[in-house]
């Protein structure tokens, strides 16, 4: 593990649990060219403490990338980008052909006037990534997340417990410090080292939780924060976060059904009852799981079985970008999803909905898991087989098509025996409630009405926590997860906010192009 012990050289933390000041180094950040790009991409490392309450203890290198403002307008400052996940390493999207590079270097209006700053958050990518055993991960992933017997439940729980133990064994004590508050302090360290300009940040999905917690800890250092696709971290009971996400997933799937029924370009347009068609697909795959051999598998030892629950869970990611928009060229959009479902049913080949086996001891999935487990109370709730079965029943009733599947359902299983306690447990943001503090520019919250990952209800909750004086909710009348990568009025409003500090009126509802 890449950890070093030395005195703080780049910056010094001057407080403990509630930081108020960072002392800027005289050296700042030393940039170098990276990836042999045709665009002027810069890279750097910044040494930060593992534990911000012990700034003279162990350190690790935080990996940072920068695209200098391209002009021709005068530079405003730095725009920090938090793409969500959690676990996403921006560095992986900055390589030649990477999903982020061309958009931010050439297309976004913001990078005409901002230096674009993207950081691999602690525990991800090139910032001391979480390490786990891939064999144990793959073995656990073969087990159903919807066990029907106590034996199957115990096997699932034990296997995921073994996976968590492997992460602690391979990552070491650093596993305790991958929580969002620690990562927020890392970003603040970068802001200070870059010259102490006020923070301008765009956070998407989990990045919205991240941005809100930055505002919670450093409210005096903000220029503008735009949060796109709101993850609300105030839900103390982990079943609440799972249920709310599940309802949003189910709602968005129903929007997909409605779109297909009314749009003749949908491959399943002629199905008389598309919800029933989908339910039959899920039921059949649960009763007769479909064999799948991962790419690169040399023999039957790594063959997997795809169940209906697997298909339902995978579908969540296919609903995220209805138009297939943005730098995420892996998204087929809803039109492509309909084609994939039709082909899968006709050929009985559901490989596209299967999870790929992992072969290395670092992966985005490991980082994602560790950060979620550090931020939520799944490991503190003494889950039993009876409680788990009751949740399965609730899921089937609450979300009859998706049946409770989704990312937080997965985390309910994976995190329940996590080897370290959550360091950043869920809580309401009270920074703006306990004082008369008023931001110069309110935080901009953006959410679609129909979002398969971050339910619109979370945006309403977040706006209430931040208050009318310090936040404005911009609603997108449409579907999908996050809005910025679609072209249209919502994206224009985000750009105008970040660049010109133009805040939409409360209650504003806009549409982007497409669905």
Give the start-to-end residue ranges of the domains of the chain.
30-129+179-195, 134-174+236-414, 198-234+427-515
**Maximum Cα–Cα distance across the chain:** 69
d(CA 293, CA 295): 7
How far is the C-alpha of 161 from the C-alpha of 149, rounded, in Å? 18
Per DSSP, what are the bridge partners of residue 49? 59
Confidence of residue 326 (pLDDT cuts 50, 70, 90): low
Question: For residue 20, what pLDDT is reported?
Answer: 37
Rounded to an integer, what is the distance from CA 299 to the centroid of its chain? 34
pLDDT tens track for 189-221: 999 999 999 999 999 999 999 999 999 999 999
pLDDT in the model for residue 112: 97
Average pLDDT over residues 240-265: 98
**pLDDT reading at 11 higher than 50:** no
Cβ contact 96:68 at 8 Å? no
Average pLDDT over residues 416-442: 93
Question: Which residues are bridge partners to 473 per DSSP?
Answer: 445
Question: Contact 201/79 with Cβ under 8 angstroms?
Answer: yes
- Mean residue pLDDT across the chain: 92
Provide the pLDDT for residue 437. Answer: 84
Query: How confident is the model over 184-196, as pLDDT tens digits?
Result: 999 999 999 999 9
Q: Where are the alpha helices (DSSP H) in 288-363?
A: 308-318, 333-347
SS3 65: strand
Task: Give the model's pLDDT for residue 130.
Answer: 99
Residues 176 and 423: beta-carbon distance below 8 Å: yes
Q: How many helices (H) and strands (E) does the chain have?
A: 14, 15
Q: What HEC string does 217-240 produce? A: HCHHHEEEEEEECCCCCCCCCHHH
CA distance 57 to 3: 10
Has residue 384 got a pLDDT over 80? Answer: yes
In the block, tokens 């360091």 appear at 423
pLDDT given at position 17: 33
Per-residue burial over 61-78, b = 16 or more CB atoms within 10 Å of its CB, e = otherwise: bbbbbbbbbbeeeeebbb
pLDDT at 22 over 60: no
Q: What is the pLDDT of residues 42-80, one digit of tens each?
A: 999 999 999 999 999 999 999 999 999 999 999 999 999
DSSP codes joined into one string, 169-200: HHHGGGGGG-SHHHHHHHHHHHHHHTT-PPEE
Query: Model's pTM, two decimal places?
Result: 0.94
Is residue 500 within 8 A of residue 339, CB to CB? The reply is: no
The more confident residue out of 409 and 5 is 409
- Are 115 and 78 in contact, with CB atoms under 8 Å apart? yes
**How confident is the model over 448-484, as pLDDT tens digits?**
999 999 999 999 999 999 999 999 999 999 999 999 9
pLDDT computed for residue 8 by the predictor: 34
Give the bridge partners for 11, in sequence order. 24
Contacts for 293 with CB less than 8 Å, ≥ 6 apart: 300, 302, 303, 304
DSSP reduced 3-state for 309: helix
Distances (CA, A) of 303 to 155, 293, 298, 321: 19, 5, 10, 30
β-strand 471-479 against 443-450: which pairing, if any? Answer: parallel
Q: How many CB atoms lie within 10 A of CB 118?
A: 24
What is the distance between the alpha carbons of residues 31 and 465, in angstroms, rounded to a whole number?
Answer: 38
Does residue 7 have a pLDDT over 70?
Answer: no
pLDDT surpasses 80 at 1: no
Instruction: Express the helix, strand and coil content of the chain in percent, nearest 5 each.
Output: 40, 15, 45
Pairing of strands 509-510, 290-292: unpaired
pLDDT digits (tens, 9 = 90+) for 85-142: 999 998 888 887 788 888 898 899 999 999 999 999 999 999 999 999 999 999 999 9
Q: What pLDDT is attached to residue 16?
A: 32
pLDDT in tens, 285-316: 999 999 887 776 666 666 788 999 999 999 99
Q: CB-based contacts of 84: which residues, under 8 Å, 6+ apart?
A: 203, 204, 205, 206, 207, 208, 229, 482
Q: Is the dihedral of CA 397, 479, 146, 368 positive or negative?
A: negative
Nearest to 314 by CA among 414, 410, 242: 410
DSSP β-bridge partners for residue 23: 12
CATH number for 198-234+427-515 (one of 2.40.160.10, 3.40.50.1820, 3.10.180.10, 1.10.260.40): it is 3.40.50.1820
Residue 328 banded pLDDT, cuts 50, 70, 90: low
Nearest to 65 by CA among 39, 104, 101, 91: 91
- CA gyration radius, the chain: 22
Residue 279 has pLDDT above 50, yes or no: yes
d(CA 170, CA 367): 13
Q: What is the pLDDT of residues 347-360, one digit of tens each?
A: 999 999 988 889 99
Does the pLDDT at position 25 exceed 50? no
Token pair listed for 250: 């189910």
């Amino acid at each position: 593990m890449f950890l070093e012990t030395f005195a703080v050289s780049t910056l010094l933390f001057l407080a403990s649990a509630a930081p108020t000041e960072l002392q800027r180094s005289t050296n700042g950040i030393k940039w170098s060219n990276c990836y042999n790009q045709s665009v002027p991409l810069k890279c750097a490392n910044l040494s930060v403490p593992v534990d911000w309450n012990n700034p003279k203890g162990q350190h690790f290198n935080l990996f940072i990338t920068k695209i200098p403002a391209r002009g021709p307008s005068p530079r405003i400052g730095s725009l920090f980008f938090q793409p969500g996940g959690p676990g996403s390493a921006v560095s992986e999207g900055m390589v030649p052909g990477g999903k982020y590079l061309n958009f931010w270097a050439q297309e976004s209006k913001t990078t005409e006037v901002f230096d674009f700053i993207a950081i691999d958050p602690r525990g991800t990518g090139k910032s001391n990534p979480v390490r786990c055993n891939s064999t144990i991960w793959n073995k656990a992933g073969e087990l159903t997340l919807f066990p029907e017997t106590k034996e199957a439940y115990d096997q699932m729980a034990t296997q995921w417990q073994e996976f968590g133990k492997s992460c602690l064994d391979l990552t070491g004590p650093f596993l305790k410090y991958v929580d969002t508050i620690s990562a927020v302090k890392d970003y603040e360290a970068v802001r200070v080292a870059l010259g102490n300009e006020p923070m301008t940040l765009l956070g998407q999905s989990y990045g919205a939780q991240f941005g809100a917690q930055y505002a919670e800890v450093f409210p005096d250092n903000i220029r503008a924060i735009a949060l796109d696709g709101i993850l609300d971290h105030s839900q103390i009971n982990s079943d609440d976060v799972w249920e709310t996400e599940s309802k949003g997933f189910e709602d968005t799937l129903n929007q997909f059904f409605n779109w297909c029924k009314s749009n003749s370009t949908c491959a399943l347009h002629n199905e008389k009852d598309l919800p029933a068609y989908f339910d039959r697909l899920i039921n059949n795959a649960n009763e007769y799981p479909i064999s799948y051999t991962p790419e690169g598998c040399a023999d039957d030892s790594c063959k997997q079985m795809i169940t209906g629950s697997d298909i339902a869970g995978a579908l969540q990611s296919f609903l995220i970008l209805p138009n297939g928009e943005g730098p995420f060229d892996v998204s087929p959009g809803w039109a492509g999803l309909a084609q994939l479902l039709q082909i899968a049913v006709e050929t009985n080949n559901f490989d596209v909905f299967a999870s790929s086996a992992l072969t290395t001891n670092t992966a985005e999935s490991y980082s994602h898991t560790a950060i979620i487990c550090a931020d939520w109370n799944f490991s503190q709730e003494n889950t039993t087989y009876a409680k788990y079965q009751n949740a399965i029943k609730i899921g089937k009733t609450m979300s009859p098509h998706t049946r409770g599947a989704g990312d937080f359902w997965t985390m309910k299983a994976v995190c329940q025996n996590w080897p370290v306690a959550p360091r950043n447990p869920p809580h309401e943001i009270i920074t703006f409630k306990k004082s008369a503090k008023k931001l110069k520019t309110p935080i901009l919250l953006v959410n679609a009405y129909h979002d398969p990952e971050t339910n619109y209800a979370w945006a309403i909750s977040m706006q209430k926590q931040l208050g009318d004086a310090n936040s404005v909710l911009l609603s997108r009348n449409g579907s999908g997860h996050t809005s910025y990568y679609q072209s249209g009025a919502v994206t224009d409003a985000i750009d105008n906010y970040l660049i010109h500090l133009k805040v939409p009126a409360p209650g504003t509802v806009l549409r982007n192009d497409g669905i």
